[in-house]
Amino acid sequence: MRNNLKVERAIKNITQEDLAKLIGVSRQTINAVEKGKYVPSTMLALKMARVFGKSVDDIFALEEEE
């Protein structure tokens, strides 16, 4: 699964720490999602999309083989 989290963060110019505080999770979670180590739950993905004002599909995308 791919995600544009880092790009979106750069557009809005906020750090991982700020994003984590906004959503209410730990910084490790944001880091793990960005690196692709952790697939976020639906709640978390929706909250992330809400922070950036985009839809979930704009931030996360399935790979070809999934």
Instruction: Please tell me whether residue 45 binds other proteins under the rule CB under 8 A.
Output: no
Q: Which position among 26, 50, 55, 61 is part of the footprint of other proteins (CB under 8 A)?
A: 26
Instruction: Please tell me whether residue 16 binds other proteins under the rule CB under 8 A.
Output: yes
Eight-class DSSP state of 53: T
Determine which helix (DSSP H) or strand (DSSP E) holds 29, and give its type and residue range. helix 27-34
Nearer to other proteins, 38 or 64 (CB): 38
The CA distance from 16 to 27, in Å, is 6
The CA distance from 36 to 30, in Å, is 10
Instruction: Please tell me whether residue 44 binds other proteins under the rule CB under 8 A.
Output: yes
Residues forming the site for other proteins (CB under 8 A): 15-16, 24-29, 31-33, 38, 40-41, 44
